[in-house]
Amino acid sequence: MGRSVNVQLTEDQALILFDWLVRFNERDDEHFEDQAEERVLWDLESSLEEQLAATLAADYQSILSAARDAVRDVEE
């Protein structure tokens, strides 16, 4: 295995990315050039899930909604 690369995200960003990955990984119509790309997305989803307590919260959807509001660009 190669060297590790660290990417820093806020908890809100990580939660939004996790939610998107879950939805993306559940789709049946992915078109990957190589299965390794799919493996990386599964691994990233799993890693985020392990680190985010909110994924198990009863009010997950409201936590996710608040995270989206915090990260979303402000329209002028």
> Predicted confidence band at 70 (pLDDT cuts at 50, 70, 90)?
very high
- Which tokens belong to 8? 């820093």
- 11-26 and 60-71 are packed helices; what angle lies between their axes, rounded to 10 degrees? 120
Could you report the per-residue pLDDT of 36-47, keeping only the tens digit for each? 999 999 999 999
pTM, two decimals, is 0.87
Average pLDDT of the segment spanning 49-53 = 95
Domain of residue 24: give its range. 11-71
- Residue 4 belongs to a domain: no
Alpha-helical regions (H) of 1-76: 11-26, 35-51, 60-71
Whole-number Å distance between alpha carbons of 37 and 30: 10
**Structural domain tally of the chain?**
1
- Residue 66 belongs to a domain: yes
- Residue 48 belongs to a domain: yes
Average pLDDT of the segment spanning 16-29 = 91
Whole-number Å distance between alpha carbons of 16 and 71: 9
- Residue 47 belongs to a domain: yes
- pLDDT of 56 reads 92
